[in-house]
């Protein structure tokens, strides 16, 4: 079992920045990928960014590439999502998810564990 707890969401103005954190616990990481998804009202949950725990390979959705950066901290068992240049289109509940595998998948159905989500609201 893997438990994921997100934090760091909040309200920011357009052009601002936030850093989300995802603390993982419950088992030893090996060939595991941790990713961020988001879901806005009336829309499907979509992939944002992800990182393989061991190798550090990353992947990004086209909509956030160049603005968001995903990283990991081995000592803290934590994954981060640094979000810069935020726009109102980034407003959503952001979820941390984990899957078995050494590469990043953008398919939400590939993920077995999910956090509770953290709200990000960007005002214009």
Distance between CA atoms of residues 67 and 42, nearest Å:
24
Count the alpha carbons within 13 Å of 83 in the hemisphere toward its beta carbon. 33
**What is the pairing mode between strands 92-100 and 78-83?**
unpaired
User: What 3-state class would DSSP assign to 39?
Assistant: strand
pLDDT of residue 75: 87
pLDDT of residue 3: 93
Per-residue pLDDT of the chain (124 residues; tens, 9 = 90+): 789 999 999 999 999 999 999 999 987 666 889 999 999 999 999 999 999 988 889 999 999 999 999 999 988 999 999 999 999 999 999 999 999 888 899 999 999 999 999 999 999 9
pLDDT of residue 31: 82
pLDDT of residue 61: 98
* The pair of three-digit structure tokens given for residue 18, joined into one six-digit string: 């936030």
* The pair of three-digit structure tokens given for residue 6, joined into one six-digit string: 């997100």
Return all residues near 38 (Cβ < 8 A) that are at least 6 apart: 45, 46, 48, 90, 92, 93, 94, 95, 120
């Amino acid at each position: 079992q893997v438990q994921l707890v997100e934090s760091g969401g909040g309200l920011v103005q357009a052009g601002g920045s936030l850093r989300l954190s995802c603390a993982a616990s419950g088992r030893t990481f090996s060939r595991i990928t941790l990713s961020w998804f988001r879901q806005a009202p009336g829309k499907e949950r979509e992939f944002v960014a992800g990182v393989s725990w061991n190798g550090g390979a990353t992947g990004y959705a086209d909509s956030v590439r160049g603005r968001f950066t995903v990283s990991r901290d081995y000592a803290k068992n934590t994954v981060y999502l640094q979000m810069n240049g935020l726009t109102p289109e980034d407003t959503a509940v952001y979820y941390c998810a984990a899957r078995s595998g050494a590469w990043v998948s953008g398919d939400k159905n590939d993920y077995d564990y999910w956090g509770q989500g953290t709200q990000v609201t960007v005002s214009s």
